[in-house]
Amino acid sequence: MYAQYLDTFGNILTATKNLRILNFEVGNTSFILHPPVTRALAQMHELRYLSCHLVSPGVLSVVKCIPSRNLVLLDLWHEVQWFHDFSPLLSTLEAFSKLSTLVMNSFLPGQTDLDTAGTSLPSIRHITLKDASVAATNILYLCPNIDTIDFSPNHEQQCMQGHTDIRPRWPKVSHLSVGICRATRWGGGVDARLSHADLQTALVELLERRASPVPHLELAGGGLELTRDGVAAVDAATSRWLARLLAALQPRALTLPVHAAGFNQSPHERLDGWLWIQVARVLPRLRALTLRRVGRDNWVPPDTPPAALAELPLRCLFIDASPVLPSESRRLRSPCVELERVRALDALPAKLLAALTEMRVLGITGTAALPDAAVDTSEKWGLKDLGEWRREHGEHNTPWWRVDGEGAERKLVELWREYGERAQQLVENAEEYRVADLAEIYLDKCRYEP
């Protein structure tokens, strides 16, 4: 029965051989290695995006034979049972001269001296290494035109070996994203072979030795904590490794994940609350900051962040406080709690304007209230208040503002979203930033007029 299913699927693929996007999400490699499926792949001349779950050396040899020379994205999930080696992977990658984005999940080669003289992958500009070993990062040396790197380490101790070895620095990139899971006071984290402290140390030491200074650094996964009284509460160990990382990489734009539930500090864990002071000390040229909500808790912002962020010389601040969707939350939010959240976010821009004297651009996601279907409809009185808020403020979920005037005359003027995002990109990416470079957003056409 299973063979008949594979035959049928192979026939379908053969009949639709002009596919441009193909995603294999299967639990074993025999699916792709079945002859009808293999023959169908060998006829796909128009394929642009290919994702394979799972891959083995045999699957890689099938992928290599795909005749499309316009493949630009390859997403590979490696099977943990087979020995991970660079040879079949590099042979496959060399077959696609226009490949620009490579995503590799659970690629765990052991320590190896990769021959960087024999192979070059000049078309690759974006690499994602998820749950990868330190040795997997050796592929970066083969990509002279790499522009963005997304790296998250595997937690097995042997996978992090070699992080202090003397090696050349990776090619310079414009954006580096680093994922590291961190246990929070609400659970989560991972049952790792390495403790979180050891993993943090190994990751920081790796980046100190191999990564070059980067314009935009993003910390993904895990999350720092914003609390009502602690402002940006992190334990002392996390504060120390974060300061080392920022001092080594010197980003001018920084993206941080935050657990922003507004809870009080735990009596069982000492949190120092000095994050922004440390960031200001090690990053005197920081221009742009993005705070991104992670976890299952909606953010009711405390009153303290504006004053704390005043330590930073920010030109652009973006806060992603997107509300938790019903599919993410274990329980639906009551209307009164949701109303508290949107009212607090509504008051935040004016407070930030007063505190951040260098700020020129501000954006906040999550100001619009959740739809009625996402809250407890049994609380009719709460829905009435929520409806009044909507009628007054509308459903503009991601407003952007520019700052007009100087000194006491400074005020926020709302922008169309595309101009706000363009200004954010300019502040983050311009090598020599000047306030005059933002002149375009001060034109009348940029004012948001619903």
pLDDT in tens, the chain (450 residues): 456 667 777 778 877 778 899 998 776 677 788 888 888 889 999 999 999 988 888 889 999 999 999 999 999 998 776 778 888 899 999 999 999 999 999 998 887 767 666 789 999 999 999 999 999 999 999 999 999 999 999 877 778 888 888 889 999 999 999 987 544 433 344 444 667 678 888 899 999 999 999 999 999 866 566 554 434 556 667 778 888 999 999 999 999 887 655 444 444 444 445 677 788 889 999 999 998 877 666 666 666 677 778 888 999 999 988 776 665 555 556 677 777 777 788 888 999 999 999 999 999 988 776 666 666 556 666 666 767 766 666 666 789 999 999 988 999 999 999 999 999 999 998 887 777 789 999 999 999 987
The confidence score (pLDDT) of residue 263 equals: 44
| pLDDT of amino acid 265 | 43
pLDDT score, position 402:
96
| Spatial contact of 174 and 147, defined as CB atoms under 8 Å apart | yes
CA 159 – CA 155 distance, rounded (Å)? 7
Q: Give pLDDT, residue 230.
A: 37
Structure tokens at 212: 């070059």
* Strand duo 73-78 + 175-179: pairing: unpaired
Place of tokens 């009711």: 300
Amino acid at position 274, single letter? W
Looking at residue 304, its pLDDT comes to 64
pLDDT of residue 116: 61
Report pLDDT for 80.
Answer: 73
Domain parsing of the chain, residue ranges? 1-99
pLDDT number for residue 382: 64
State how far the Cα of 389 lies from the Cα of 367, in Å rounded to an integer.
Answer: 11
pLDDT at 269: 45
Quote the CA–CA distance of 287 and 429 in Å, as a whole number: 10
For residues 123 and 146, what is the distance between their CA atoms, to the nearest angstrom?
Answer: 8
Nearest CA to 401 out of 436, 439, 442 is that of 442
- Position 177 scores a pLDDT of 96
Pairing relationship of beta strands 101-105 and 126-132 according to DSSP bridges = parallel
